Structure 1
Amino acid sequence: MNRSKMLELLLIEDNECDVELARVAFERCDANCNINVVNDGVEGIRYLKKEGEFESAAKPSIILLDLNMPKMSGASVLEFLKNDEDLRSIPVIIFSTSESKVDIIDSYTNNASCYIVKPFIIRDYISIVNQIISYWLESARLPKTIQAK
């Protein structure tokens, strides 16, 4: 598998344990990603709009988005992203503990690229991250990776 491309991943997640799990899982999977983390939906929007301390932030190749966060929900962030002409093409993976059918249907209705329920066991978490890498970072052709070609 070709893991030579460096991709920008934005993780919008408020739970520090989940952030650490994601970092460890991507590290163990030997992902060639620069992982940027913001801790709530408001900060996620500021990052994506390059406001304040995020003015030089790289545009993400892919976004992992939690649904249940303080200040602004992941659903609101998703709606913002998909209504913004410059950001709507970025694939958004909803990565949530919620197994609610309503959350899943709403996410797809609002154009989420994928919905994954977070596993709680590190082995399963690593397996999911490997699948994310395999599909989204190796198989799929993302807009950011083909712009210059």
Structure 2
Amino acid sequence: MSKGHRKAVDILLVEDNPGDVRLTRECLLDNKVHNTLNVVVDGEEAMYYLRKEGKYANATTPDLIMLDLNLPRKSGFEVLKEIKADENLKVIPVVVLTSSEAEKDILASYSLHANAFVSKPVDLFEFTNAIAQIKGFWLEIVKFPLE
């Protein structure tokens, strides 16, 4: 791979709110992030995707997981706990991206080895800025292993 050319970053967004999915997708596109964004809408689907089970048998292993905490069927905390307990998944960085600002949720996320905790701003401009900041750090500064 030549200098200046990076492989596309595969992102798994675990988010049940269609509006937040759309905004995240638009923010990543607007910021010209070279990525593939895959979306699942609940915690069980996230684990099927990550373990390449069922309809996700051909899924790519993500370089980054953006995980909401308030999910149907299996909470973000349960997903995070399963990811970090799995030898094949635990190295994938997980950014908790949630509407919660509760100290107990922040502490619980880091206790389960989240790599970052970001509260989703309600304001559109601030939400866009938060995604841009995540993009700037996780997709431009952080180095991912070559496959």
Which TM bucket (shorter chain)?
Answer: over 0.9
Following superposition, which runs of at least 4 residues in structure 1 exceed 2 angstroms of deviation?
2-5
Would the alpha carbon gap of residues 109 and 3 (structure 1) be closer, same or farther in structure 2, given more than 3 Å must change?
farther
Output the TM-score relative to the length of structure 1: 0.92
Q: Aligned partners of 1:122, 1:25: CA distance in 2, in Å?
A: 11
| Equivalent residue for 1:106, pick from 84, 108, 130 | 108
Contact 1:9 1:33 in 2 (8 A): yes
Q: In structure 2, what is the equivalent of residue 57 of structure 1? A: 59
Encode CA deviations 1:73-108: one digit per residue, 9 max, x unaligned.
000000000000000000000000011110000000
Q: Which runs of 5+ in 2 are unaligned?
A: none
Which one-letter code corresponds to 1:30 in the other structure?
A: K
| Equivalent residue for 1:44, pick from 38, 43, 46 | 46
Q: In structure 1, what is the equivalent of residue 16 of structure 2? A: 14
Output the TM-score relative to the length of structure 2: 0.93
Contact 1:93 1:112 in 2 (8 A): yes
Q: Aligned partners of 1:29, 1:3: CA distance in 2, in Å?
A: 17
Aligned length: 144
Q: How does 1:58-137 map to 2 (within 5 A)?
A: 58-137=60-139
Encode CA deviations 1:13-50: one digit per residue, 9 max, x unaligned.
11111111111111111111100000000000000010
Q: Which runs of 5+ in 1 are unaligned?
A: none
- RMSD across aligned positions (CA): 1.3
